[in-house]
Amino acid sequence: MNLSELTTMRVGGPAGELVRARSEQEIVDAALAVWASGDEWLVLGGGSNVVVADEGFDGTVILVESRGIERLPGGGVRLRVQAGENWDALVAQAVENGWSGIEALSGIPGSSGAAPIQNIGAYGQDVAQTLVAIDFLDYLTGDVERVTAEELGLGYRTSSLKRGRQGVVLAIELQLDESDTTVVGYDQLATALGVAVGDRVPTAEVRRHVLALRASKGMVLDAADPDSVSCGSFFTNPIVPENVGRSLPMDAPRWLEPDDVNVKLSAAWLIERAGIRRGFSLPGSRAAISSKHTLAITNRGGATAADVAELARYVRSRVMAEFGILLQPEPVAIGVEL
């Protein structure tokens, strides 16, 4: 099977071997077996944040398909969620049950086990705000360990798992609130809702408006929308020293970081001001910048991983030449240079 069939970017050649793991034990068994063999290995969930080379992956791919959401005893709403559980389905269930804490993360594709790896976030929420711990099969020890959120070193689109700690997430544990309302913490979402930041609104309304906002940017998987054939946001917003931020034009968006030393910039603004418009593509390429949002690279049909990588490198070079800032790709690259 070509990995293009298992990734939202729809690129990637064949796997050397594909193992479907439908339970925690099957995941553990598959991982321990491939580690013992010395073969190369790759864990794949929803395939929403990965670009796989056209040559494929000459190793074992463990496809995580475990399902299940268990409510644990204790105060509030403590959930243990299997790694293969669809993330947006989890958010939908939380909203339907009157639980708050992850509603602004509606529409983010992928599996629940992948959520803490890059600390997914949107519209004023991120996983770090509700994550308690993960159950983790550690590559070095071969043991299943409970790793707390604090031990994961969660930051903006990062964690120790993304920074090199090897293993497999088996399940995640979240602490939600038993409430069907939530505080709005993001300007764009507040404007869409017609409220002020800090106001409390129904979680169902937040989910509805977040899905609409994401759809307007091509960020909700939709077979009828070619802009959704992507990895979502392809570049993270750069965090730079404040003096670097001050060197940009006055209209450049920037947000002071909690350390009061660095500022976060808008990658989309940098891309646009570097002269790359929505819908842009390189000659002869089937990869293109989304027609709705410059932060996404899309597969317009028949694109190769090489097409995607070439466009990503071009965008990075243009922004570097214009502003001296190197954009960092958000997807995991397997066999390709982004």
Supply the pLDDT for residue 260: 86
By DSSP bridging, strand 77-82 and strand 69-72 are: antiparallel
177 and 74 part of one domain: yes
Q: What is the pLDDT of residue 75?
A: 78
What contacts 210, CB < 8 A, 6 or more positions away?
103, 104, 105, 106, 107, 122, 123, 189
The one catalytic residue among 65, 103, 157, 207: 157
The predicted model scores a pTM of 0.94
Residue tagged 């309304």 (tokens):
205
Residue range of the domain that includes 80: 69-181
Mind listing the pLDDT tens digit for each residue in 58-74? 999 999 999 999 999 98
Q: Residue 247 catalytic?
A: no
What are the beta bridge partners of residue 43?
A: 62
Catalytic residue among 106, 233, 266, 290: 233
| Ranges under pLDDT 50 in the chain | none
**305 is a domain residue:** yes
Rounded to the nearest 5 degrees, what angle is found at the Cα of 338, between the Cα atoms of 273 and 57? 155
Establish whether 165 is a catalytic residue: no
Do 268 and 300 belong to one domain?
yes
Cα separation values, 201 from 89, 100, 146, 190, 282, Å: 21, 11, 34, 10, 44
Residue 194 inside a domain? The answer is no
CATH of the domain at 330: 3.90.78.10
Model confidence over 91-113: pLDDT tens digits?
999 999 999 999 999 999 999 99
117 shares its domain with 55: no
Q: Does residue 92 share a domain with residue 42?
A: no
**CATH code of 29's domain:** 3.30.43.10
Whether residue 203 lies inside any domain: the answer is no
Is residue 318 among the annotated active site residues? Answer: no
Shared domain for 174 and 244, answered yes or no, is no
Q: Is residue 219 part of a domain?
A: no
Which of the residues 24, 103, 205, 330 is marked catalytic? 330
**Structural domains in the chain (count):** 3
Percentage of residues in the chain having pLDDT higher than 70: 100
Q: Decide if 124 is inside a domain.
A: yes
Nearest to 297 by CA among 327, 264, 324: 327
Does residue 76 share a domain with residue 10? no
